[in-house]
Structure 1
Amino acid sequence: MKRRTLRVEGALVGKTVVAAVASELGLPEPRARELVDVGAVYVAGKRSRDAKARLTAGQVVTVVLEEGGQSPLAEAPPAPELRVLYEDADVIAVDKPAGVPAQPTEGRVGGSLVDLVGAKLGRAAGLVHRLDRETSGVTVFGKTADATSALAAEFREGRARKRYVAATGPGLPPSGTVDLPLSKDPSRPGRWRATRAANGVPALTDFHTLFAGPAFCVVELLPHTGRTHQLRAHLTALGAPILGDSRYGGLPRAGGVDAARCLLHAQALELGHPRTGKVLRLEAPVPEDLMRFFAAAGIEAPAGPIRAGGSGAG
């Protein structure tokens, strides 16, 4: 990420945000205003969308100029169609498309799942759990502050139950439990390692192998905890990383079928309704890229109630 940081002093004191950015970066004001509009400007650590706000002495202004090799002003791709799985006065559940981040990134607004749901509702919605960018599947939002708080408690207190499905490399046993703590891998930034050799956070995953072949496996995953990269790291520890997961060594192709992204899908979620307390059972159809591996294996995707053991905090 490329950024420019300015300290408000001297001639910058009292200037508007857009005027300060324009003068310090040598930009025309319309261009500086675009940076403010897309959320690439931060004042005192908070995103500033008010181009006319006046700066005070000592404030720090940060401008994100490039993120992931791309300018925040680059034209965004068309927003994907949002599939709503369930909606009432308190809750909206959607099928997150692969490739869409759960939340806005630092240098850009728009295009995240939070933005897409907010645009549909015409107001902000409360995200209570997150999926990785490449992971698809069920994601639930609260439509009120009370609903968001109650839904978050379902995850935090381990009452929410989740079922994932994935295509992996070969070699998985028929079933089992992975009880390996997770810690950041110091030798590979962005990766987590599943090992008892480090002081990691507890993580527990049940799995049931639905198909085991010489080229790939298809597996049902039931996390008891909801740690960052938990399923990806646990499957790597079993010697069968998720296909398409380049960060963890997953193959880009297996059994003659391509895996263009990390083939992990949050297929089902069960949790208490925030107002009635009744169990909501939400399911997202397996996407086409992962479904090709189910078809090659000659098996059906799981459906119906989640087996015991599928609770998770996130």
Structure 2
Amino acid sequence: MKRRTFRVETAQVGLPLGEVLGAELGLPREEVERLVAVGAVYVGGRRSRDASARLGAQQVVTVVLEEGGVSPLAAAPASAPEWRVLFEDESVIAVDKPAGMTAQPTEGRVGDSLVDRVGAYLKRPAGLVHRLDRETSGVTVFGKSSEATSALAGEFREGRARKRYLAAVGPVALPSQGTIDLPLSKDPSRPGRWRASRAANGIPALTVYRVLHAGADFHLVELLPQTGRTHQLRAHLTALGAPILGDSRYGGAARAGGLAAPRCLLHAQALELAHPRTGASVRFEAPVPEDLARFFSTAGLVAPSGPILLPSGQPGRE
């Protein structure tokens, strides 16, 4: 990420943010205003979208100039991935996040994340309580009030939310079911990756899995995470020698059995938790997207549905 940071000097106190940015960056007013509008400017650590805001003494201003090698002013994709509402009432909205959409705004851009889209749909802020990776598709739930958001967040924080993921992986000798109990830590040799190993002082992570299809070209697995760590499923499967197909960051193959894996083929298929108002158990399910559904069809399988149950004999989180 490329950014520019400076501290407001005495002569700049009281001047509009846009004017000071133009002088500091040597950019025309129109370009400065676009940087502010897309959310690439922070004042005092908080995103500022008002180019006319007056600056105070010693405030720190940061401008994101590039993110992932791309300018925040680069045009957004002509057709953003489509998302759909799975369930909605006065307290909760559950949606199906498409692959390719970030869960929340990145540092350099606002407006094209799932939380932005759901907030625009609701015409008020959406209470995001959990996140899926950009390439992961599936169920994401939001609170529609501060009370509902807090209650939903508690379901995840206390480990009461049950989740079922589906993934396609390369062919590897896996037991028909099992539990992966390996701590996670950042991989110092590969920025952006996590490693699942007892060799490092990592954070506890537990995943129960079941093999749904074991073919010569690929396997299909059901994953029931008992903890909710960053990249948990991706790192755990990689530790078993079975990285998810299409997951280039973790070494997943781009094709298998003549089928393309255009992205990390991981789908959050179902989520069960207590309704924040009634306390009753509710389950939301998202249809398997086309790229992963092709693997199920080739295997002659129907994706699992219904209650989220641990395989017999597999320990879950207490």
Distance, in Å, in 2 between the alignment partners of 1:268 and 1:210 is 16
CA separation of 1:312/1:266 partners in 2, compared to 1, >3 Å: closer, same or farther?
farther
How far does residue 82 in structure 1 lie from its aligned partner after superposition?
A: 2.2
Q: Which runs of 5+ in 1 are unaligned?
A: none
**Partner residue in 2 for 1:13:** 13
The residue aligned with 2:23 is 23
Q: How does 1:143-222 map to 2 (within 5 A)?
A: 143-171=144-172, 172-222=174-224
Distance 2:316 2:228 in 1: 5
Q: Could you tell me how far 1:228 is from its partner in structure 2? A: 0.5
Contact 2:310 2:316 in 1 (8 A): no
Distance 1:29 1:51 in 2: 10
Contact 1:209 1:219 in 2 (8 A): yes
Pairwise CA distance, 1:80: 2.7
Residue type of the partner of 2:54? R
Residue by residue over 1:41-79, the C-alpha shift from the partner in whole angstroms, topping out at 9 and shown as x without a partner, is 111111111211111221111111111121111111233
Counterpart of 1:266 (choices 265, 268, 285) is 268
1: distance between equivalents of 2:11 and 2:76? Answer: 35
* Residues 1-314 of structure 1 aligned to structure 2 (within 5 Å): 1-77=1-77, 78-171=79-172, 172-308=174-310
AA aligned opposite 1:13: V
Indicate conservation of the 8 Å contact 2:186/2:194, yes or no: yes
- Per-residue CA distance 1:200-240 (angstroms, 9 max, x = gap): 11111111100001211000001110111110011111111
Distance 1:270 1:254 in 2: 32
C-alpha distance in structure 1 between counterparts of 2:239 and 2:315, whole Å? 21
Q: Which runs of 4+ in 1 moved over 2 A?
A: 78-82, 308-313
Q: Aligned pair count? A: 313
Please say if residues 158 and 311 of structure 1, whose CA atoms lie closer than 8 Å, have aligned partners that are also in contact.
Answer: no
Report the CA distance between 1:13 and its aligned residue: 2.0
Which stretch of the first structure deviates more once superposed, 129-138 or 30-39?
30-39
In the alignment, the residues of structure 2 paired with residue 181 and residue 116 of structure 1 have an alpha-carbon distance, to the nearest angstrom, of 34
Greater shift in the superposed pair: 225-234 or 48-57: 48-57
Matched residue SS, 2:297: helix
Q: Distance in 2 between matches of 1:148 and 1:97?
A: 22
Instruction: Confirm or deny: 8 A CA contact 1:160 1:312 kept in the other structure.
Output: no
Q: Give 1:32's aligned amino acid.
A: V
Q: Distance in 2 between matches of 1:101 and 1:198?
A: 29
**Secondary structure at 2:108 match in 1:** coil
Q: For residues 264 and 134 of structure 1, do their structure 2 counterparts lie closer, same or farther at Cα, with a shift above 3 Å needed? A: same
Post-superposition offset of 1:102 = 0.5
Q: CA deviation at 1:10?
A: 3.9
Instruction: Give the letter for the 2:254 counterpart.
Output: P
How far 1:312 moved relative to its partner?
A: 9.6
SS of alignment partner, residue 105 of structure 1: coil
User: Do the aligned residues in 2 keep the contact of 1:222 with 1:311 (CA within 8 Å)?
Assistant: no
Normalising by the residue count of structure 2, what TM-score does the alignment of the two structures yield?
0.96
Deviation of 1:311 after TM superposition, in Å, equals 11
In structure 2, stretches of 5+ residues that fail to align are: none
1:250 is aligned with what amino acid? G
